[in-house]
Amino acid sequence: MDQLEAQRFGLPDTVALRVETGTVRSGQSLSHLLTPAGVGPQTLHRIATEERDVYDVRRMKAGQDWRLFRGPDGRPRHFAYLINRKDYVVFDLNQGGSVRKGAFPSETRRDFVEGEVQGSLYQVLEDAGHTTTLALAMSQVYAWTIDFSRIQAGDRFRILYERDWVSDEADGMPRILAAEFVHRGRNFPAYAFDQGDGVDHFDETGASLRKAFLKAPVEFSRISSRFDKKRFHPVLKKVKAHLGTDYAAPHGTPIVSVGDGVVVKASYTKGNGKYVKVRHNSTYTTQYLHMSRRNVKEGQAVRQGDVIGYVGSTGLATGPHVCFRFWKNGQQVDHLREEFPPSTPIREDQQPAFADAVADWMEEMARYDGGSESQLAAQTP
């Protein structure tokens, strides 16, 4: 065991070294870990200052694993800190030693899954033997196009994806290469392509799936109340216009900004509870009510997908949810009925390369599902 661990980190004298293992606890620094092990202040100072360009020890995080290697005499010789599942850094604790970064061998594997939604997308993928984080990856690809709180039994999908593996364990999020998702009878294809601005996903026409606003401020929630000007209020017990959409979710679920903007309000009222209001531009503003806790301050700039608070039931609320309100030109509107233009489409000079990439993805998907180029394509509008 000790020899194998030393070999994993590329250490010399592997037979003579013995290893101690542990996990960084909250509040612990490198000195907290190594001073009790017998490492002197001069060595710690050198690592923290002279070797900062290689790795800044202030970036160590609670929950990450470490290895301490001792020589036959019991003196500490090397300390390895696992930055993540793949990357690590080794500190030479011998006099005049160095700091070096390394990475475990990894491989990228591709996989394919298709199916029909009966309950949740999470459950369908798990039952098919695929990672449940694939559902999260799908929700991120389609966040601008499909409201995953509204998927229903009978929706169908095909997904071609890849993922990195380290020591036969999955590392990081799956990456969607190509997908088709039939939602309420309409097919939404998605193809990964990089036209020089980073990988994005596009439909079959080359239009980006990344639109101006996310479809919902919380992932995998359900709509508990819709925009209704004649709604009967469950707390006030009278008819009162409900100028927003309620998304029910567990207490503490992250609430994200549906678009880039600036926080113009982060406050509390008796009715709204703790809330945040974001101005996106001269046309659009959004508001998020009944938070258990706010995560932003007034005047703060936020990006699309930034966590701005957490689901709660403060104010006039019967249970944990976020009331999402949407303003267009100063008027509150039903965001579910709004159509927003896509962002940068495939540029003209990139269209031939994109067409080739789509053809490759479709051919590969056909090999997985028995030769049918697209069993869902007939439903594409």
> What are 244-273's pLDDT values in tens digits?
999 999 999 999 999 888 999 999 999 999
pLDDT of residue 229: 62
pLDDT in the model for residue 313: 95
The fold of 107-211+345-379 is Nuclear Transport Factor 2; Chain: A, (3.10.450)
Integer Cα distance of 156 and 160 in angstroms: 14
Question: pLDDT for 39-94, tens place per residue?
Answer: 988 889 888 888 889 999 999 999 999 999 999 889 999 999 999 989 999 999 98
- Model pTM? 0.71
Domain 2-103 shares a fold with domain 107-211+345-379: yes
Q: According to the model, what pLDDT value does residue 30 have? A: 92
pLDDT of the residue at 318: 86
Residue 141 pLDDT > 80, yes or no? yes
Listed by start position, the domains of the chain span 2-103, 107-211+345-379, 222-337
CB atoms < 10 A from the CB of 279, how many? 15
**pLDDT of amino acid 307:** 96
CATH class entry, domain 2-103: alpha beta
Confidence check: pLDDT of 118 > 80:
yes
In CATH terms, is domain 222-337 a member of 2.70.70.10?
yes
CB-based burial label for 168 (10 Å; 0-12, 13-18, 19+): exposed
Contact assessment for residue 93 and residue 44, using Cβ atoms and an 8 Å cutoff: no
The DSSP string of 122-134 is: HHHHHHTT--THH
Compute the CA torsion angle 210, 212, 216, 219 (nearest 10 deg).
Answer: 40
Give the tokens for residue 120: 């949740």
State how far the Cα of 31 lies from the Cα of 41, in Å rounded to an integer. 8
